[in-house]
Amino acid sequence: MFRDCRLQTCYVQSPAYPGIYPRHLHCSYHLNTRLPFIKLYIENEEFNIDGQRCENIMTCPMRPISSGSEHCPYDYIRIYDGKDAKSPVIGTFCGMGKFPYSIIGTSEDLFVEFVSSPAGPLLNTGFHFNVGNWPGHVETAGSRNGTCDWLLTSQDLMASGKTEGIFLSVAHWYPPHTSCTYLIQGSTDQIIRLYFPSFRINRIESPIMQFDGDCGESLTLYDASWPDDSRIIKTFCDTFSRAMEKHDFVSTSSALFVRFESKTGSYSGSSLYYWAHYDFFNNTKFGRPISDTECDEEFVSWQAKSGYLRSPLNTLVYKRGEGAGDLHCRYRFITDRRLFARVILTITNTNFKDNPFNTSPCTNCWESKLDRLIIWEPSITNHTDLPSSGQSGGQCLCKSPQQNKAISVKNPQPVASVISSSETLNLELIVDSAHSASSYFKHPGALFEARYEFVHSPLCGPAIIPATDEGELHFPHYEALGYTEPPRSIRCIWDIKVNQDRDIWVHFDKVRFATRDCQDGRLEVYLPSKPDHPYLSICGHNVSGKEIPPLTSLDLTPPDSHTGYIPSPSVRIQFIGSTTPARAAFKIAWTELFHLPRNPDGTLMTSRLTETNTVEPQSECEFLCPGETYLCIPTRLVCNGIINCPTPNNIINSNLNISSIDSGDEAPDICAARRTDDPDINWVMIGLGATGGTFLAIACLILLCRCCCCCCCCTKQHDDDDDDY
């Protein structure tokens, strides 16, 4: 009996080997290597155990090695998978010839039993086995049920302190019709990647049971938590498959099921030799994922009013395959005017890495190969697809020193903020495939972070107000109260468009807030020349100081843009209310003004004025507003019941002290003169109209009297007829 065998130093042989072994023997051998997967093998493959006798030695048949007790009635060797004869039987062997396989146990122990018949051997010399271990064991982070059924979870992998789990092909003996399974289970919103750093497919060399068909042994991957044949990713067979090394097999859910099946069984392990790695990736989506895309998402106002988003948490998308091209992740923001009319998208942070294959500066963002973000509005750019440049209103962001500085301070400023003018806004992340894997695969940091908010509910009314000579804006929009409830908070953003080369005078009337606290309600005016800071802010405690001077065409034009896109002049007014926004109410009125031309030094071109300081007839100015502003309005706006000229008291740096009602476009003397001198008034037609109206009234009165008389006569006649009866 041999105990505690050491690696490559132990062996077990029949008595008197290499001579004839005695008859009527019963020997037992306990083999142990202290390392998993003990291996029993013969170097020269010679195996001679046979208890038959024959009269003529020269005619004794040579029988091949047999397996199974029914084929070995005399001398035999029996191998058990364990410490003693109570362990599972691997096989019973006898015969003369070659031993063409090694036997590998499932643990560090094997028990070998040798029996010779009472008749004894003839010429057989017995057996000599070497004992060693098979280096096919790894520590798998999971739990095992039985011999080869495993549950591999992300919690087990995390507890092991490793980022990737490992499992190997079956490297020990197994009986026919064996099935080994591996359920790789992640947590919610996780997906699984499985790949094979090493994979070989061999013929079945040591089957326990012969099988002549295809696919005697197979390995199947399922995109499910159980062997669902409708969710098969790939099947490998021993007869016709090609091994796929270093190819990523990715699940679409939080479970991946792997099953190995063998119809033949094996004494020395699987014919499909693989070394499998698996890991987990966070596939959380912040919006609704778009099918048949790698990372596109959609954000709709009827599901969430506001929210957060960032670059994909699943960094597997940065591991680009050959020919896959650059990574494009598109984020669409969609609303409905019955809910909201605008989208506000704020890029709070960017963290792009240097692209070693591109030296273009960020100033050439559109045409470079830099990693970048592109924001565009389909209704403005007329592009549902990605615009090629900023000429049509898109905005491109890439790595720049200013952005790096912004994200390094304690309270970073937003990298960019965009307010849409319609119900759809697009954001697209583009990552160059040349360095995406090396820079971002398994990189936990976000390439960008952003927040979005849907604003401008129906209570705000129209969001975009076309250019007009004069206009008014009322809040709340009372028509909307019939089909919407006042919200707890509201944010309205109006864009008042202005005609080219016009000034505008905006004034507030009947302004009422819920409280004096500016957090409960405030009005802000923004100019394109300074879009980041309000030009004027009004709330409950300063509502009396709501007058602003006329805004010039220079104030209404944005500064030069690198994109080459210049939007039309406009004034942006924002109202933010909370608590009880329905209690707030105000009216905003505005008038477009013609500004008389000036000399290069800023003085008025007086050649267009007469000696009485009135405007020449050929000038485009129809009515000159009072004061020294030289602002003009159309004649039709004079004496229409609305003050359209900014009065001197409302003008900064004005030294005049006259009343608006006495000097403006609604002054009594001006209106009286216009009623007298207005050539459009035809007094003859007015007189004829009055006379015609008088005759029409008399005719109606006569007709009414006749009708009354007829009714009386009919009544009397009816009474007379009754008297006859």
Q: Is residue 5 domain-resident?
A: no
Q: CATH code at 78? A: 2.60.120.290
The encoded tokens of residue 392 equal 């049509």
The answer on 567 and 505 residing in a single domain is: yes
Residue 221 has pLDDT above 70, yes or no: yes
The answer on 349 and 235 residing in a single domain is: no
The answer on 443 and 302 residing in a single domain is: yes
Instruction: Report the share of the chain in percent with pLDDT over 90.
Output: 38
The answer on 266 and 165 residing in a single domain is: yes
d(CA 526, CA 551) in angstroms, rounded, equals 11
The answer on 483 and 443 residing in a single domain is: no
The answer on 21 and 122 residing in a single domain is: yes
The encoded tokens of residue 576 equal 């933010």
The answer on 154 and 277 residing in a single domain is: yes
d(CA 593, CA 499) in angstroms, rounded, equals 10
When pLDDT is averaged across residues 510-535 and rounded to a whole number, the result is 86
- HSE-CB of 617 using CA atoms within 13 angstroms: 0
When pLDDT is averaged across residues 549-567 and rounded to a whole number, the result is 71
Give the SS3 label for residue 607.
helix
Q: Is residue 256 domain-resident?
A: yes
Residue 556 has pLDDT above 90, yes or no: no
The range of the structural domain enclosing residue 396 comes to: 290-455
The answer on 502 and 446 residing in a single domain is: no
CA angle 501, 507, 508 (to 5 degrees): 150
Q: pLDDT at position 37, please? A: 84
The residue out of 455, 476, 503 marking a domain boundary is 455
Residue found by looking up tokens 């020349």 in the block: 529
Question: Torsion over CA of 8, 10, 14 and 20, rounded to 10 degrees?
Answer: 70
If one compares 221 and 148, the residue with the highest pLDDT of the two is 221
Q: pLDDT at position 123, please? A: 65
Q: Is residue 187 domain-resident?
A: yes
Q: Backbone phi, then psi, for 380, in 5-degree steps?
A: -95, -45
- Per the structure, how many domains does the chain have? 5
DSSP H or E stretch at residue 474: strand 470-475
The answer on 431 and 298 residing in a single domain is: yes
Q: pLDDT at position 52, please? A: 65
When pLDDT is averaged across residues 75-101 and rounded to a whole number, the result is 87
Q: Is residue 695 domain-resident?
A: no
Q: Is residue 404 domain-resident?
A: yes
Q: pLDDT at position 186, please? A: 96
The answer on 219 and 150 residing in a single domain is: yes
Per-residue confidence band for 619, with pLDDT thresholds at 50, 70 and 90: low
pTM, full prediction:
0.77
When pLDDT is averaged across residues 387-402 and rounded to a whole number, the result is 73
The full length of the chain comes to: 725
When pLDDT is averaged across residues 368-383 and rounded to a whole number, the result is 84
The residue out of 90, 105, 133 marking a domain boundary is 133
What residues pair up with 28 in beta bridges, in sequence order? 113
Please say whether the dihedral angle defined by the alpha carbons of residues 385, 389, 392 and 396, taken in this order, is positive or negative. positive
Please say whether the dihedral angle defined by the alpha carbons of residues 97, 103, 109 and 115, taken in this order, is positive or negative. negative
List CB contacts of 496: < 8 A, sequence separation 6 or more: 465, 471, 473, 504, 506, 570, 571, 572, 573, 590
d(CA 481, CA 458) in angstroms, rounded, equals 8
Q: Is residue 688 domain-resident?
A: no
DSSP-derived letter for residue 664 is S
Give the SS3 label for residue 709.
helix
Burial (0-12, 13-18, 19+ Cβ within 10 Å), 262:
buried
The answer on 533 and 446 residing in a single domain is: no
The answer on 88 and 37 residing in a single domain is: yes
Helix/strand number for the chain, H first, E second: 7, 40
The encoded tokens of residue 171 equal 């490297």
Per-residue confidence band for 47, with pLDDT thresholds at 50, 70 and 90: confident
Residue 334 has pLDDT above 60, yes or no: yes
Q: Is residue 696 domain-resident?
A: no
The residue out of 282, 303, 323 marking a domain boundary is 282
Q: pLDDT at position 708, please? A: 59
When pLDDT is averaged across residues 47-73 and rounded to a whole number, the result is 64
Q: Is residue 711 domain-resident?
A: no
Mean pLDDT (the chain, rounded): 81
Poorest-pLDDT segment among 154-158, 409-413, 421-425, 568-572: 409-413
The encoded tokens of residue 721 equal 């007829």
pLDDT digits (tens, 9 = 90+) for 696-713: 777 777 766 665 555 554
When pLDDT is averaged across residues 210-238 and rounded to a whole number, the result is 95
If one compares 1 and 524, the residue with the highest pLDDT of the two is 524
Q: pLDDT at position 424, please? A: 95
pLDDT digits (tens, 9 = 90+) for 254-285: 999 999 999 999 998 999 999 999 999 999 99
When pLDDT is averaged across residues 591-605 and rounded to a whole number, the result is 65
